[in-house]
Each structure stands twice: as structure tokens, then as C-alpha cells.
Structure 1
Amino acid sequence: MQHINSFLALGDSYTIGEAVPIHESFPYITTQLLRKKKISIYAPEIVAKTGWTSSELAEHLLHTQLNHHYDFVSLLIGVNNQYRNLSVDNFLNDFEFLVKKAIHFASGKNERVIILSIPDWGCTPFATDKNKEQIAKEIDAFNIVCKQTAKQYHTNFIDITTETREFSLEPKAIASDGLHFSYETHLIWAKKMANAIQQILE
């Protein structure tokens, strides 16, 4: 019998695909792309909420009963820490806990955990009257934590921030709320995810 892969997506509004239909979020597009490549995979299980910080996601995971094992786990969190001016040091503690948790969910297979970098909301119309340079600088600091923790725990790391910054000048990159990202942007992220998963399975 053919094995059907399972996929747990942990995060915040970017994982849910705030302001786009759920099937246009990157976890769902990722599974659609993999199915086109003849890779069997269930619809993603999403544990994410708009506005969640790293500590709120961690808190939720401590009190929620999920399946013990998934074939793949993605983690994208931290934008709300930056938005609320929370410290990078606290984020580091939370993030390390979340990465360990993700590895646990992936049956201890570090390479099956995929960490995504935090997109830059400073590039969106919502941030027109904000200090974009400051936002970019702070998001870079949080992303250094994400990247270094991924390296420390031997997980995958995918940079989606660069594209977010480059592509955000295109009106079609942004969702209708002027703050979140559109299907087109989620598709870019999903292609990177699907390629990473395909390589892991090969």
C-alpha cells in the first residue's frame, strides 16, 4: 500500500493565508503542487492563528493534543513578536522550543522540519506611514535567530523574505487587506516548500 505523507504547518497569519481563501495559503498550495508531482500527501493540518507570537504558538502546543507523528512539519513565526516590539532574546528561547517541538512531531527527523523566514510587512501598503528601514532591520534580526536555530538543529531553512521584498512592489503580490500576501506570493513560497519536500523524499 502506498504511503500517504502527512504535513503539519505551524505559524501565524502567513501560514493561514490571512485575506486569501484557505486553499490559496502556502501549505495547501504545497500539497497541490506535490500531488501534481505524483507525491501522495494529505491536506495539511494547520495550527496557526492571526496575531500569534512565538510564545502564544508555544503555549497552544503545550495544551493541544495533536497526532504524534507527521512526515513533514513547517514553522513560520515571529512577525508578531517584531510588530509588538518584543525582544529577540525571548524569541530565541521560544523559537528553540518550537523547533524542538517540530522535530518531535516529525518523529525526530530534523531534515523533515522546514523553517521559513519571516516576510517583511514593511513592504506592504499597510506600512506606508511606518519606518520601513527600521521594520526591515528588526525582521532581519529575528530571521538571524530563525536561520541560526535551523542550522543548529539541522533542519531545512527557506528564505522567503527576499522575494517578499522584491515582489511586494507588484500590486498582485499583496492581498486585499493591504497587509498580508496574495495567492501569487503564497505560490512562490509553496514552490520552494514543494521542491524541498521532493528533494527530501528522493
Structure 2
Amino acid sequence: MKLYAVILVLAFSIKGFSQNLNIQSPVRMLALGDSYTIGQSVATGMRWPTQLGDSLIKRGYQIDEIRYIATTGWRTDDLVQAIKGQNLQSQNYNLVSLLIGVNNQFQHAPFSKYESEFPALLDSAIRYAGGDPSRVFVVSIPDYAFTPYGQGSSNPNTISIELDQYNNYAKSIADAKGVVFFNITPISRLGVQKPEYVANDNLHPSGIQYTEWVKLMLEFIDSQTAANSRKEIEILESYFPNPVNDVLNIRLSEGFQDKKVKIQIINMEGKVLMKQTMKNTTDSIRVNDLDVGLYFLKLSTGKRSQLIKIALVR
């Protein structure tokens, strides 16, 4: 398979996301969790991490590895024990997922156990991703109350309330650590309305439901890919002050630091009054010899250019 050198930084700023997710090719993914991660009762190819990997391949990424450390029935403490002594931080994973907690709730473990062990697991996930939280994401716990098994329990509503507590806590920890949190729980709550969302065991998500999880992830990934592409056109990351009095400070966007960027100050009639070449990622241009008024700041490199209006005051 052809290797595509693709680096994508996703700034999660819509639909409740505020963290960054960095997906780099070739992808070496570590999927940590329980039955929902290994796709209990579905074909291997329908597991959501596998479906995500297949979708990333279609988008130009190479997938080197997707490793699972997950077993049906695991609580947070089981996962803590499973990852001990495996030296995972030296395996060069650049994408790590974490989905854990349903068995803490199902087995009636004290919630305080999750409060202490989930943050530790997330810290471990970040460490396995080279210490970079932008290469880690958390997936919410699906709500099994909306399955035939859950509907047959004594109080399905209690299941939902308790899982909301787990998910709200997990999200708060993910947010605090700068990690993306995918909330797939609303999708799982369509399990009664859409029986095809439930596997044949009447408890776990089906491959069809996992596809919807991946669609949620990809919807944002694709939207941010487009936003990132638009952002790459902009040469200038920032400039200040504006209005400017004496010196205008300029900072180049990522990707332009090693390029030869020319700066021009142009008056409103289109005449070039000043010009220089950027010496570093950040540079400044003195405008104290210019008259008060409006000007254009033009940056150009190769076939790209950017024009910004600035005001000169005294």
C-alpha cells in the first residue's frame, strides 16, 4: 500500500468539542477497553476501531497496526492490571482510544473506584501516545438500558442515570486533560427504536451501530479536514498591534516557517511603500515613517499571497 505522509490536526470546536486530535500517518493505534472495544458478538471487521481504520485508509492514511487490549467483563481495575508491565510507552503508538466503565456500573462497584482509576488510565493512555493528549480520545459508555436485556431489567431508567454519571465524570476528566471525548451514548439509546442497532446477544451494539459511532467521529474529522485545508492557505498566524503606531509584529502560520515570505506595505492606491523578507517565524516591520491612514499588509510566498488591511495611527 502506498504510504501517504499525512498529518492532520483537528481542532474540536463544534458540537461541544474544544480539544485537538492529531492523526498522523502511518497510524499505530492502541484501543483500550472492554467488550465494546473488541466488539463482543460482532464480526472482527465490524469492531468500531477496525471500521475507523478502514475509513481512514479511504482518506489517504496508512494503518500500520490496531492493537486491542480489551476483554469482555473488564472493569477499570482489570484494565489497569492488563496494561502493567507491557512497556506500552515504548511501542510508538500515535493514536490511543479509551472506552471503559460499563462493568464498574454493571457489577455495582463503588463509583469512587472509577473516580480514582479512570484518570489514571487516561494518564497512561496519554503516556502511551508519547505524552501527547492530542493523540488520545475517549469514547463514552453506551447505554445498554436500550437493549432487550436492559429493557428486561427491574429498572432500565436507573441504568441510564448511573451511566450518565459515569459518562459525565469521564468527560470532565477528558476535558481537564485536553483529550477529545466522543459522546456516542445518544446513538446507543436508539436501540429500542432501531433493533438492528443491537447484536444477536440482545445486549451489545451491533456492527451497524458501531458504523454509526464511526460516522460520528468521521463527520467531525471530515469537517475539520476542510477547515484545516482552508486555514493552510493563510500565511499569517497573527499580527499586532492593529491599529499600529510604530512597529508591526508578524508571526507566520505553521508550515511557512521555512519558506521565503515577502512582506509589503501598500497604500490604498496600490503603490508599494515598504518591502522586506521575513527573517524568522516572527518578525517586525517599522512603519513610523508612514503617514497616518489605511494600508494593506501583503505577504507572499511562491504562488500564495495574503492581503490584510491595517490602520496607522499616532
Tell whether the structures are fold-level matches, with TM greater than 0.5: yes
Choose the corresponding residue for 2:165, options 141, 153, 170. 141
| 8 A contact 1:31–1:43 mirrored in 2 | no
Unpaired stretches in structure 2, ≥5 consecutive residues: 6-24, 229-314
1:116 equivalent in alignment to 2:139:
yes
- Report which of the two structures shows the higher radius of gyration computed on alpha carbons: 2
1:188: Cα distance to partner?
1.1
| 8 A contact 1:103–1:109 mirrored in 2 | yes
State the number of aligned residues. Answer: 202
Query: Which has the larger helix fraction?
Result: 1
- Percent identity between the aligned chains? 34
Query: Which has the larger strand fraction?
Result: 2
After superposition, what is the alpha-carbon deviation per residue over 1:143-186, rounded to whole angstroms, capped at 9, x for unaligned? 11110000110000000101110244211100010001111111
Question: Could you say which residue in structure 2 is the equivalent of 1:161?
Answer: 185
Question: Could you say which residue in structure 2 is the equivalent of 1:90?
Answer: 113
Specify whether residues 196 and 96 from structure 1 end up closer, same or farther in structure 2 by C-alpha distance, changes over 3 A only: farther
1:105: Cα distance to partner?
0.8
Q: Give, in whole Å, the separation in 1 of the partners of 2:127 and 2:70.
A: 18
Question: Could you say which residue in structure 1 is the equivalent of 2:56?
Answer: 34
Structure 1 counterpart of 2:116, which letter?
Answer: N
Choose the corresponding residue for 1:80, options 93, 99, 103. 103
Q: Give, in whole Å, the separation in 1 of the partners of 2:206 and 2:55.
A: 17
Q: Give, in whole Å, the separation in 2 of the partners of 1:14 and 1:167.
A: 15
Moved more, 41-50 or 58-67: 58-67
1:88: Cα distance to partner?
1.6
Question: Could you say which residue in structure 2 is the equivalent of 1:7?
Answer: 29
After superposition, what is the alpha-carbon deviation per residue over 1:5-43, rounded to whole angstroms, capped at 9, x for unaligned? 111100000000000011100000000011111122234
Q: Give, in whole Å, the separation in 2 of the partners of 1:191 and 1:43.
A: 21
1:116: Cα distance to partner?
0.6
Question: Could you say which residue in structure 1 is the equivalent of 2:77?
Answer: 55
**Does the residue aligned with 2:32 lie in a helix, a strand or coil?**
strand
Structure 1 residue runs of 4+, over 6 Å off? none
**Does the residue aligned with 2:63 lie in a helix, a strand or coil?**
coil
Q: Give, in whole Å, the separation in 1 of the partners of 2:219 and 2:197.
A: 21
Unpaired stretches in structure 1, ≥5 consecutive residues: none
1:151 equivalent in alignment to 2:180:
no
Choose the corresponding residue for 2:68, options 35, 43, 46. 46
* Greater relative contact order (CA < 8 Å, ≥ 6 in sequence): 1
Question: Could you say which residue in structure 1 is the equivalent of 2:232?
Answer: none
Q: Give, in whole Å, the separation in 2 of the partners of 1:154 and 1:88.
A: 23
TM-score normalized by the length of structure 1: 0.93
**Does the residue aligned with 2:115 lie in a helix, a strand or coil?**
helix
**Does the residue aligned with 1:42 lie in a helix, a strand or coil?**
strand
Question: Could you say which residue in structure 1 is the equivalent of 2:213?
Answer: 189
Structure 1 counterpart of 2:61, which letter?
Answer: I
Structure 2 counterpart of 1:152, which letter?
Answer: A
1:192: Cα distance to partner?
2.9
Specify whether residues 187 and 168 from structure 1 end up closer, same or farther in structure 2 by C-alpha distance, changes over 3 A only: farther
| 8 A contact 2:147–2:203 mirrored in 1 | yes
